[in-house]
A and B are shown apart, each in its own frame.
Chain A
Amino acid sequence: MSMLRSDLDVAAVRKDFPFLRTGVAYLDSANTSQRPRQVIEAMEAYYSEYNANIHRGAYRASEMATERYEATRDKLRAFVNARSRKEIIYTRGTTEGINLVAYSWGRQHVREGDLIVLTIAEHHSNIVPWQILAQEKGARLEYVDIDDQGELRQDQFHALLERKPRVVAFTQISNNLGMITPYREMTAAAHAAGAIVVIDGAQGAPHLGIDVQETGCDFYAFSSHKMCGPTGVGVLYGRRELLEAMPPFQAGGDMIRAVHLTHTEYAPLPEKFEAGTQAIAEVIGLGAAVDYLQGIGLEAIHAHEAALTEYAFEAFSEVPGLRVFGPPPSRRAGVIAFDLEGVHPHDLATIVDRRGVAIRAGHNCAMPLMERLGVPAVARASFYLYTEREEIDRLVAGLQEAKRIFA
């Protein structure tokens, strides 16, 4: 049926993911992915074999923990192709990464009357931190709209750049529309206009990956839990010059060089931004996730998802009254928001759930986009390396059943 072929051995991949043994057709990976046993085992090994705090290496277990914790940083540096491991900051997730930038860089550099450019398709985590900053500083926010195809209006984006924004922040892949933004071109254009560029890589990192040097972005935030890693940890890439000049985000243990009663000398990068005991097991698990993904190859994963997306589009087109939001398969990632005439997305999700199919329903953390699309909510199916066509078939059968129930 599909023109695209993928070389991924899905059957073999699926054996690595214990959750899939439940038989649930898990079509909510854009929300959080499943984790392979390699990740779970890496965390278990830490807890059972060398559980200790890091950076206090007076004994063997602590040395080992520190070594593995820092090894993940090297893996992440290579994963995004950063120049230096000092540019890789551990966070709790994409949300914290963006908050860190808005708080730490933003409070230092954004002034009254400055312009911050976002897009209507952003996740709340790439809107609210900027709103708070704008309110505090008296800065202005403008949003790039989408066109009828669900893609960002580049004409409007360029018109906004004429107004010399201070910050341009946008997503690499929309978590609803599935569109892959022209993030390289947008970054270059924003830089030419003198703005710093913050990219939300929550959906991009797991499915497309990024080369931060080639892209040239100033900050790139992503989450472990959407890329086969554990929850509770994420990454902020930042250009070293910017990070060096920024004040700390949170203060306390581990981020200091020396504390005096009157002042503190901060630790060098990256520890300056890593206050308090970190999510050690999770960071180690994330390292295993990066290994796992790179062992398979992001290109193969992307090709697999592209084939699935095309397959899903064809299958969805046979469901009367089903409407897909966003661009055609060739310009999107494996996340498809849709609705079905006469059936509320929540009812849809309930009906397919009772057939063992897990999809998301709601505003998907993008209320401004929902308003723009003129819908209170959408249903959303999303794919990853372990998704197989049979699961999409099961979803489609559930959608047909929903049509029948609500006819």
Chain B
Amino acid sequence: MKEELLISGRMNPNIDPFLNIWHWHIPVYLFLGGLAAGILFFAAFYTITGREKEMPTTVKWATFIVPIALIVGLLALFLDLKHQLYFWRLYTTVRLQSPMSWGAWTLMLVTPLSIIWVATYMKEIVPGWKWPWKFLDRAEAFVIKHKVELAWILIVLAVILGIYTGILLSAFNARPLWNTSILGPLFLVSGLSTGAAAIIWMSRSHYERKIMSRIDILLIIIELFLVTHMIMGFLAGSEVKIASAMIFLGGQFTVSFWVFFVILGLVFPLILEILELRGFRIPVGIPAFLILFGGLVFRFIMVEAGQFTRYLY
């Protein structure tokens, strides 16, 4: 029998017996960040390809969610900090090796830009909207003229935002569950998928819903592929990696992972969307909600389970 134990009674709060330093704040932020990235991506994409008229919700209405999501996400992050009075230190330096620093600055850029994007549509969304100051009218005109350039910037930032949430976790090589390079693309695809789902839910145009459903189906299939790939990668890895995979194959998170994420969050809505495209009448909200729910649950599981895994003891 082999024993490996601590005999000096270490019980650091949130570190022992299992690491639990990140709570709900991080998964909520990751989800909102992914959602925002997804919506922004599609809005920018269809602007660049000149198809705004056909995809009104994508380009206009759904983007209203983005600044709200980002600000709520930032608030969650702020609440997670333990030394909050010093949060401004984040913006005194750019540390290229720290994904968190990347994230802080990206958010710093995306949030105002997304507000600007939404602002250009204020007059359409709120009838009779008037800017309080004259220079804002000029600014609005300027932005509308350079919509496409803005869209290019936004599409790049959206990809960074979507992928960095995954790289943030995968950069922590001390947590075997996270230390896989698939996590970045997986989070990006998941973010895009949740963005698409939100758009589908909000859209009133049948055409738009059809396009986004097709895209979403593709994204879910890619996601399923990536998840399978990730688990197979773990099982082919070292002992700690295998232990990470076992968390989902008989361990504590088996049920939540497979039932709530894979089945309810991926497979079931996939089937519903395919059926809808085939002509069956399915309330739009159900697959959309399930995908959003699945995205949130996925991030909760990953953050919780990741902290569970470790190299020692």
Do the two chains bind? Answer: no
Residues of B within 8 A of A (CB): none
Residues of A within 8 A of B (CB): none
